[in-house]
Chain A
Amino acid sequence: MTGQDMNATIRLTAAQAMVRWLSVQRTDDGARFIDGVWAIFGHGNVAGLGQALHGIGDALPTWRGQNEQTMAHAAIAFAKGHGRRRAQAVTASIGPGSTNMVTAAALAHVNRLPVLFIAGDVFASRRPDPVLQQVEGFGDGTVSANDCFRPVVRYFDRITRPEHLLTALPRAMRVMTDPAECGPVCLAFCQDVQAEAYDWPEAFFAPRIWHIRRPAPDADELARAVDLIKAAKAPVIVCGGGVIHSGAEQALADFATRHAIPVIETQAGKSALPQAHPMNFGAAGVDGSAAANRAAAGADLILAIGTRLQDFTTGSRTLFDAPLIGINVQPHDAAKHGAVTLVADARVALQALTDALGDLRFAPDTDPRAAWLAAVDAHCAAPAGDGLPTDAQVIGAVQRAAPDGIAMCAAGTMPGALKLLWQAAQGGYHMEYGYSCMGYEIAGAMGLALARPDRQVLCFVGDGSYMMANSELATAVMRRIPFTVILTDNRGYGCINRLQVGCGGVPFNNMYADCNVEAQPQIDFVAHAGSMGAHAVKAPPSPICRPRSRPPAPAIFRR
């Protein structure tokens, strides 16, 4: 660029500048990092951002959903389905629209997933104060409802002058593409500032590629980890979501095979290896397989790769009786449980370890794995007698019908059941179990189907989760985004009821039968989904659980 070009400017509103800039931020393979923007407008974003989004057109598409939280669930599932290599934005108006997104921000934060929240904010000028929906702090003039985002995003900024975007936008992208810090970003965008014009440097809008780095291990940390592994007799690998975020699935498969080390899975890490991989011993911990937990309890060294070590993985810290090596790109996670740290990208770390370990091979007992898989098949077999099927039998039926699909869910009985029993094909599992947020399922299935059009998305949802948030089903119908929903209706919050009784309580306020209601509900889920245009059927009590030769109807829409 010549010196003169470097000084060239272009006059745009702040909102126009934001969307223009976002439209040219690229991934390594040339795709837009921010795929598009889910939007529900109100006075806080309709005039400024609304005009800008309309103007940019297909260069940064806009989609309308039904609820800000669930639009964000879709965006988050899209990012997870892409292994964090792409993301979407969500915009909402001041006040309720924006605070509706706070739960989703927390969900993305816990799961370390990127999403860009563009939250309409009060007037920077304060001229019309209090504007409709403004939260007024008596003792702090700088507070707005959007301050609720601060603890649940990795980067927060309030845009009170147009030129703030010159710093805020690159910071936002840096956080979303940083493997260690990755998470949600909130740009609270004052409504008057959105509409304000500014002379932007043209160079600001030059297309830019955001490479996701792969930090290599520190030499001393690597040497310590290698020594520990060489001294071990029975190491076990815990495979977390970081393995998938790093794209280290094949590296892990090769590493486990070459050194004969059993792999046990977290919710986020499940399906990095297919269940069929000979070293995949299945799920770890509270909802863990007999084979995995046995291997974990007997291990003399745990290699925790890309995992937060959530309580479900560790049996609330009672499962492992061995020292840990924490292999993680994020030092906070690497150091948990007093682990010996190996701070690095998972794929790079596995390669470095295997280079140092050479042909070292362990001799794990693989009989429990074979016995476990046989037991799962029997447990998930079609029911023989009458009576309502179990969740396990439903999983078995779906598994036999659609073995290559992606099973997805977030809350209720099914996350534990699927982690335990779903025999995933490679990449065939998507569980939001960091926040386990009821109401993620339907919208998440839509976002996942957008990210993975090559795979059948199997959305497992309980009656409770469906009732909490289902309206993006209508969006999926309108946008012709196909996925299959398996709704298990057990008339209430089954898993919490069992937990209540397991904790010595009495059944209370979970199943409808135990609630203060005047009449027991008869919710017609088929009619409900049908009213939104979905194709819905009720499975007769047992045939669903018999093996089927064809997958369940893949299209959700009525044509």
Chain B
Amino acid sequence: MIVIETTAAVGPGFGDAGHWWDVAVPATGDTDALAQAYAHYLTMAARQSLIN
């Protein structure tokens, strides 16, 4: 077993890699960061194809 300390600051994605993931963001709260995240959430959710 090899134990290695790593940084938790950065995820694996970079450049154009990756894509949106639907994780429900609270519709109301205290911070600007949350308000921005919620706005982005609504934008992306509107693009979902719900056809089955």
Contacts and interface: CB of A to CB of B under 8 A. Distances in A.
Contacts of A515: none
Nearest to B12: A417
A315 interface: yes
Interface in B1-18: 1-8, 10-18
Interface stretch (A4-12, A175-183, A386-394): A386-394
Contact of B47 (A318, A395, A421, A490): A318
A210 interface: no
Contacts of B33: 501, 504
B11 A488 contact: no
A318 B22 CA distance: 10
Given A288-B19, A315-B19, A544 B37 contact: no
Contact of B37 (A337, A379, A495, A504): A504
Interface stretch (A101-109, A196-204, A253-261, A533-541): A533-541
Contacts of B11: 391, 413, 416-417, 495, 498
A375 B12 CA distance: 13
A421 to B, nearest CB: 6
A529 B18 contact: no
B8 A497 contact: yes
A160 B50 CA distance: 45
Contact of A504 (B21, B31, B44): B31
Interface stretch (A13-21, A57-65, A218-226, A289-297): A289-297
Given A317-B50, A319-B19, A389 B7 contact: yes
A538 B15 contact: no
Contacts of A481: none
Interface string A267-310: 00000000000000000011111100110000000000000000
Nearest to B17: A290
Contacts of B1: 473, 484-487, 525-526, 529, 534-537, 556
A238 B30 CA distance: 41
A32 B52 CA distance: 40
Given A413-B12, A490-B7, A499-B23, A539 B17 contact: no
A485 B2 contact: yes
A306 to B, nearest CB: 19
A312 interface: yes
Nearest to B11: A498
A489 B31 CA distance: 31
Contact of A375 (B8, B15, B20, B29): B15
B41 to A, nearest CB: 8
A509 interface: no
Contact of A390 (B10, B16, B21, B52): B10
A334 B52 CA distance: 11
B15 to A, nearest CB: 6
A137 interface: no
Interface of B: 1-8, 10-23, 25-26, 29, 31, 33-38, 41, 44, 47-52
Given A504-B29, A525-B3, 14 more contacts: A287-B17, A315-B19, A317-B48, A318-B47, A389-B4, A392-B12, A394-B6, A395-B12, A487-B4, A495-B11, A503-B23, A503-B41, A504-B36, A506-B31
List the 5 shortest-distance A-B pairs measured between CB atoms, nearest first: A504-B37, A504-B34, A417-B12, A494-B8, A316-B22
6 contacts: A316-B21, A317-B22, A317-B49, A318-B49, A416-B11, A544-B2
